[in-house]
Amino acid sequence: MAGLKETIYNIMPHPIKFVLLNIKGYLNRKQRYNKQFDLFLEEYKTLWNADLKIIKQFQKEKLIVLLSEILDHSDWYSAKMNVLGITKTEILNNPFEVLTKIPILEKNDRKNNVESLLNNKRETAMVGHTSGTSGSPTLDYIDIESINASFAFWKRFHHTIGIKPNTKQVRFSGRLIVDAKSSKPPFWMYNYFDNQLLMSTYHLTESNLGHYINKLNAFKPELLDGYPSALYIVSKYINKHNLKLTFIPKAIAVTAETLYDYQREEIEKAFQCKVYNQYASSEGSPFITECTAGELHLNLDSGIFEFINIKGEPAKPGEIAKLVVTSFINYRTPLVRYSIEDTVLLKSDNALCSCGCQMPLIEKLIGREDDILWTEAKGFVGRMDTAYKGLVGINKGQIIQESPSLVIINLETDALFTKKMETQFLNNLKARLGDQIEYKLNKVDAIPLGANGKFVAVKRKFKLNL
| 3-class secondary structure, 300 | helix
Span 179-203, average pLDDT: 90
379 vs 79, higher pLDDT: 79
CA distance 67 to 365: 28
CA distance 330 to 144: 10
Provide the 8-state DSSP code for 314: B
pLDDT at 14 over 90: no
pTM: 0.85
139 vs 291, higher pLDDT: 291
pLDDT tens for each residue of 304-320: 999 998 778 899 999 98
Q: What are phi and psi of 121, to 5 degrees?
A: -75, -25
Instruction: Write down all domains in the chain, each with its CATH number in brackets.
Output: 4-369 (3.40.50.12780), 372-460 (3.30.300.30)
Query: In sequence order, which residues have a C-beta less than 8 Å from that of residue 87 and are 6 or more positions away?
Result: none
pLDDT tens for each residue of 294-303: 999 999 999 9
pLDDT tens for each residue of 363-399: 999 877 667 788 888 777 766 777 887 788 898 889 9
CA distance 48 to 16: 42
pLDDT tens for each residue of 399-438: 999 999 999 999 999 989 999 999 999 998 998 888 889 9
| Confidence at 30, pLDDT banded by 50, 70, 90 | very high
263 vs 465, higher pLDDT: 263
Q: What's the chain's length in residues?
A: 466
Share of the chain above pLDDT 90, in %: 67
| Confidence at 74, pLDDT banded by 50, 70, 90 | very high
